[in-house]
Structure 1
Amino acid sequence: MKSYENIAELIENLTLEVKAINDEIATLQAEPQSFNEQIIFQYIATCSTGKTKDFVRSLGVKSERGSLFSSGDVSKLIKAGSDDISSELLAIARKVANTKNKNGKLR
């Protein structure tokens, strides 16, 4: 933990962290508004592009190319985003992806 000038500064920073966490919780509690959001929710829940790909394939959905949905399609959706995915939800998915890539497999 970094040092602070005074307790008020620490309290302010902790309050901001709590607000950010509460905002993430609210985002994750919302129902998906599109199929792409459903895919992103699945990725966040599993932390796995492979498991997310299997989920999409089980629904019989194909990629934009007309072929079977792949892990690369999931990664592309997370990186590039889509107009029908909320920016808050996409930010959470990217945070999960970055944490996974940085630290290896999530536990």
Structure 2
Amino acid sequence: MNPYTDIADLIATLELEIQTLTNTIHTLKQEPKSFNEQVILKYIDTASTGKTKDYVRSLGVKSDKGSLFSSGEVSKLIKNGADDISPELLAIARDVVNMKKTKR
């Protein structure tokens, strides 16, 4: 919990956290609008670039270079984003990356 100055400040902080969580849930409930969003959702689901890479390969999708899709390409997609990925979804994926780094 964040520091607060009085009960009104605490309530305002908690209400903001609720709104943030509500927005995150809403974003995660949306159907992917592109293949890249599908990849990002799979990463959020598994928290693993390796499992996400395996998922993409199982769909028969190859990288832009025509080779098998790699974990590095998943990481690059999360880091650089793409025009067809919602900023909210990308932010969640980046939060997952940061959670994994903090966990170590």
TM bin, normalised by shorter chain, reads over 0.9
Aligned residue number for residue 59 of structure 2: 59
Give the 3-state SS of the residue equivalent to 1:15 in structure 2: helix
Normalised by the length of structure 2, the TM-score is: 0.97
Q: Distance in 2 between matches of 1:4 and 1:87?
A: 30
Aligned residue number for residue 96 of structure 1: 96
- Amino-acid identity (%): 63
Normalised by the length of structure 1, the TM-score is: 0.94
Give the 3-state SS of the residue equivalent to 2:45 in structure 1: helix
Aligned residue number for residue 28 of structure 1: 28
Backbone CA RMSD of aligned residues? 0.9
Q: Distance in 2 between matches of 1:3 and 1:32?
A: 37
Aligned residue number for residue 19 of structure 1: 19
Cα shift readout 1:36-55 (whole Å, capped 9, x = no counterpart): 00000000000000000000
Any gaps of 5 or more consecutive residues in structure 2? Answer: none
Any gaps of 5 or more consecutive residues in structure 1? Answer: none
- Regions of 4+ moved over 6 Å: none
Aligned residue number for residue 41 of structure 1: 41
Q: How many residues align?
A: 104
CA drift at 1:13 = 0.3
Give the 3-state SS of the residue equivalent to 1:82 in structure 2: coil
Q: Distance in 1 between matches of 2:2 and 2:91?
A: 25
